[in-house]
């Protein structure tokens, strides 16, 4: 259950003037422009981090709006190449039209992923709320069945269906499945989702184990110590780790610009010391870098979607030393 304090912080923040929301979101959002994102990535490159770039946007209401995202991501690809950044792309399938017209949305996603393939770049389909879980997974499977393999999805530990989804993807892609696994930001109904913190952690950890066992590439997206610790213990058990070749007999093919079967992923501005520790230990660690004109809408939506973020906002505000970027 979300505490009253967190709800209060969220309720207060969303009523604050835009400059205040900008102040709060500054650490989590690179800025309004692609140039801002490039500047942040160049700065963090010196730590040894790699990146995934997200163009901020809301669910679109007409297909024409998808053109903006398509064109902006093409610009992102050019910038990544020009500045020789170690980065790939994260996209929201609904911003490409998947919920308005699944065929047209799919065509937009295909165009982008094919263009990315020409640059040797990977595209991650972010996972949105439960309305699009199945369509997002099926989009990845469809592309793989067409031989377009530089694409993977995200699964959310909190959803009851996740272990079944891993089996479904394993049956189609074997070790070539390429996941991001996270707890899930959307507060889903309890009929389809775990709701307590410990259940969500346990379910996420079970999903991580299952992905590693299936030979998949596993991007563990978390800032939570019990999930990091679980991942480290699975790695040890499987004799995987920094500098080691992936020893799993069922491992998928080695991926260009990826880690030895796994990587950690973290959000820009969150738990920098943990990120630097993982990097110093040699783990490939990817930072999710959102940018865009829609930073205000994005920040407000994230706060409303999951009021538990209110606790982090308050902590970052009152005790900035606990959460240095």
| Residue ranges binding ligand FDA (CB under 6 A) | 126-127, 154, 156, 182-186, 221-224, 227, 265-267, 270-271, 288, 309, 312, 316, 323
Residue pair 255/122 in contact by the 8 Å Cβ criterion: yes
**Residue (219 or 260) nearer to ligand FDA, CB:** 219
Min CB(88)–ligand FDA separation in Å: 12
**Residue (97 or 272) nearer to ligand FDA, CB:** 272
Min CB(322)–ligand FDA separation in Å: 7
Min CB(90)–ligand FDA separation in Å: 7
Min CB(67)–ligand FDA separation in Å: 23
Min CB(66)–ligand FDA separation in Å: 18
**Is 219 buried (19+), middle (13-18) or exposed (0-12) by CB count in 10 A?**
buried
Min CB(98)–ligand FDA separation in Å: 14
**Residue (120 or 320) nearer to ligand FDA, CB:** 320
**Residue (9 or 266) nearer to ligand FDA, CB:** 266
Min CB(218)–ligand FDA separation in Å: 13
Q: Which residues, 6 or more positions from 204, have their beta carbon under 8 angstroms from its beta carbon?
A: 157, 158, 181, 182, 183, 222, 227
**Residue (52 or 247) nearer to ligand FDA, CB:** 52
**Residue (97 or 269) nearer to ligand FDA, CB:** 269
**Residue (195 or 250) nearer to ligand FDA, CB:** 195
As a whole number of angstroms, the distance between CA 294 and CA 4 comes to 28
Both tokens of residue 289? 């870098």
**Residue (190 or 245) nearer to ligand FDA, CB:** 190
Min CB(229)–ligand FDA separation in Å: 12
């Amino acid at each position: 259950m979300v505490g009253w304090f967190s709800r209060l912080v969220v309720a207060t923040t969303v009523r604050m003037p835009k400059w205040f929301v900008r102040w709060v979101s500054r650490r989590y959002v690179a800025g309004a422009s692609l140039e801002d994102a490039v500047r942040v990535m160049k700065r963090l490159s010196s730590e040894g981090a790699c990146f995934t770039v997200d163009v901020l946007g809301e669910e679109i209401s007409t297909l024409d709006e998808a053109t903006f995202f398509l064109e902006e991501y093409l610009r992102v690809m050019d910038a990544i190449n020009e500045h020789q950044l170690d980065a790939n792309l994260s996209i929201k399938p609904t911003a490409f039209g998947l919920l308005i017209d699944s065929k047209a949305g799919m065509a937009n996603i295909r165009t982008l992923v094919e263009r990315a393939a020409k640059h040797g770049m990977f595209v991650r389909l972010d996972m949105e709320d439960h309305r699009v879980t199945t369509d997002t997974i099926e989009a990845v499977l469809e592309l793989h069945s067409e031989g377009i393999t530089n694409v993977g999805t995200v699964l959310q530990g909190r959803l009851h269906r996740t272990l079944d989804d891993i089996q479904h993807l394993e049956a189609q892609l074997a070790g070539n499945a390429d996941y991001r696994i996270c707890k899930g930001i959307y507060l889903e109904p309890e009929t389809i989702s775990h709701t307590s913190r410990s259940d969500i952690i346990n379910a996420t950890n079970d999903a991580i184990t299952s992905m590693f066992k299936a030979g998949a590439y596993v991007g563990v997206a978390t800032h939570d110590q019990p999930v990091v610790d679980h991942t480290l213990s699975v790695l040890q058990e499987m004799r995987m780790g920094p500098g080691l070749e992936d020893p799993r007999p069922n491992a998928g093919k080695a991926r260009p610009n990826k880690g030895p079967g796994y990587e950690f992923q973290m959000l820009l501005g969150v738990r920098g010391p943990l990120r630097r520790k993982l990097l110093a230990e040699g783990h490939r660690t990817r930072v999710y870098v959102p940018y865009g004109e829609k930073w205000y809408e994005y920040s407000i939506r994230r706060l409303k979607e999951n009021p538990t973020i209110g606790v982090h906002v308050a902590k970052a505000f009152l005790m900035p030393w606990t959460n240095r970027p």
